[in-house]
């Protein structure tokens, strides 16, 4: 009876496998930290690329809002739509744009480089007289 010899799947023996696994873990951690702006200092390194609000913000065409991709950061949304008409948040930024059809587009974000916690169109608030 002949026994077929198999080679280890990674590196050379158990030490080689451990080295490969650790290298992969280090690479994954480096990628996560670089995408977050560094360990514990993401907010320090992330700034608004443009002003987040403007007193002179014009209504945004509703077609532009509807065509926005789902996975955009706050900075990318501001680059696409221009500064928001207002920030009504407390703690989180809740940026609001008036749209050409009378609705309000809102985006809730913790920081300008992060993904929004929520976003969507809402009916315009009714003004009491």
pLDDT (tens digit per residue) in 69-120: 999 999 999 999 999 999 999 989 999 999 999 999 999 999 999 999 999 9
Decide: 97 and 88 in contact? Cβ < 8 Å: no
Decide: 97 and 60 in contact? Cβ < 8 Å: yes
Check residue 50 and give its pLDDT. 87
Same domain for 30 and 50:
no
Query: What is d(CA 82, CA 57) in angstroms, rounded to the nearest whole number?
Result: 8
Residue 40 lies inside a defined structural domain of this protein = no
pTM, to two decimals? 0.63
Enclosing domain of residue 92: 46-122
Same domain for 18 and 58:
no
């Amino acid at each position: 009876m002949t026994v077929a010899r198999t080679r280890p799947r990674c590196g050379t023996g158990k030490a080689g496998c451990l080295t490969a696994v650790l290298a992969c873990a280090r690479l994954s951690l480096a990628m996560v930290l670089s995408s977050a702006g560094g360990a514990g200092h993401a907010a320090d390194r992330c700034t608004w690329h443009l002003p987040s609000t403007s007193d002179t913000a014009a209504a945004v065409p509703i077609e532009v809002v509807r065509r926005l991709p789902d996975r955009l950061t706050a900075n990318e949304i501001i680059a696409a739509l221009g500064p928001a008409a207002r920030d009504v948040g407390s703690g989180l930024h809740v940026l609001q744009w008036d749209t050409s059809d009378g609705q309000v587009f809102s985006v809730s974000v913790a920081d300008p480089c992060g993904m929004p916690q929520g976003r969507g169109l809402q009916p315009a608030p009714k003004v009491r007289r």
